[in-house]
Structure 1
Amino acid sequence: MEFEYPLEDVGTDEHGFNLAYDPGETMTRKLFALQVHTDEGATDESRRRELPGGRPDQHLHRLLDQAQPAPPGAPLERDQARPPEERSDGNGAIDIALWDFAGKYYDAPIHELLGTYRERILAYASTYHGDDAGGLDSPDAFAEDCLASSTRCGRRTRPR
C-alpha cells in the first residue's frame, strides 16, 4: 500500500537526496507499507520510504520472485549470492515484516531473537543538515534546538 503526507518547511539539500530545512517549501513524503499475512493468523507490517526506480508493488514482486534460500551454513549471507544490481533497500521492508512476525510468534522482542547483546541503546537527535538554508544559523539557534531535542527525545543531542 502506498501513502504520502506533507512535510512543511522541508526540501532536499543541494544534492537532491537528504532532507533539509527549506522555509516556505512543502515536500510530499511518499512511502509504502507492506503487510505479511501468515497461516498463524498474525498480520505483520513494515513501513518504508519510497523506492527509486518504479512502483513499490512492482519492486516487491521482483524481490519475492528472486527470493532464494540462503547458501548452506550462511543464513546471513543471502545477499552475497545475488548480483549487486539485485540487492536493494526494498529487502528491508520484507525483513522487518518477517522479524515482526517472529517476535509475535515467539512472544519475544527482536533483541532477544538476536541474542540480547543489549536491552537498551543510546539514541540521539542529530543536527547534521540543520544549518542548511539558515535553519540553525547561529550558536544560539543550535543551543535552542539541542534543548528542544532533549525535551522531545531524551538526554542525547549531537550538534554537527
Structure 2
Amino acid sequence: MSTIALKVNGKDVSTEVEDRALLVELIREELKLTGTHVGCDTSQCGACVVHVDGVAMKSCTMFAVQANGADVRTIEGVAEGDALHPMQAAFAEHHGLQCGFCTPGMVMTAIDMVRRLGNDLDEATIRHELEGNICRCTGYQNIVKAIKAGASAMAS
C-alpha cells in the first residue's frame, strides 16, 4: 500500500491505495466519481479518458500511484458550476450520444484534441483523433458534428 496525494477536479485528495490499483479504480471506487467508465479492460474503448496534468490519458492504463502529485480532471470537473463546458453543451445540442456510455471519454478526448490541435478541426482530423474511442451506438456523424461545434464554442 502507498499513500498518494493528488488534486482531483480542483480538490486535494490524499489516500492510501494498493500499488497495483488503477487510476480508474481510484476515481470510481474510492472517490465515487462514476462518470469515468470502464468499458473494455483492454484500453481499447476510451470510456475511461481523464486529463492528467492537462493531457488526456486512459485511466485504465495508469496506476493510481503514478498520479501521485498530479492534477486529475474527470468529466465531473469540466463544467463551471451549473454551466456545462462548451464541449459538453455541443454534445447535447448536436446529439453526439446515444446510450451515453462512451460520451464522457469522447468529451474528454475532444477537449484535449482542441487543446493540442486548435479550434479549426476538419472531419478527417477528428475521426483520426477518435481512433482510441469506441462508440457502439452511432456512426460517429453526430459525434463529429458535436466536436466541431464544441471546438468553435471553445474558441469564443
Bigger relative contact order (CA 8 A; separation at least 6): 2
TM-score strictly above 0.5: no
- Structure with greater Cα Rg: 1
More strand by share: 1
TM-score by length of 1: 0.26
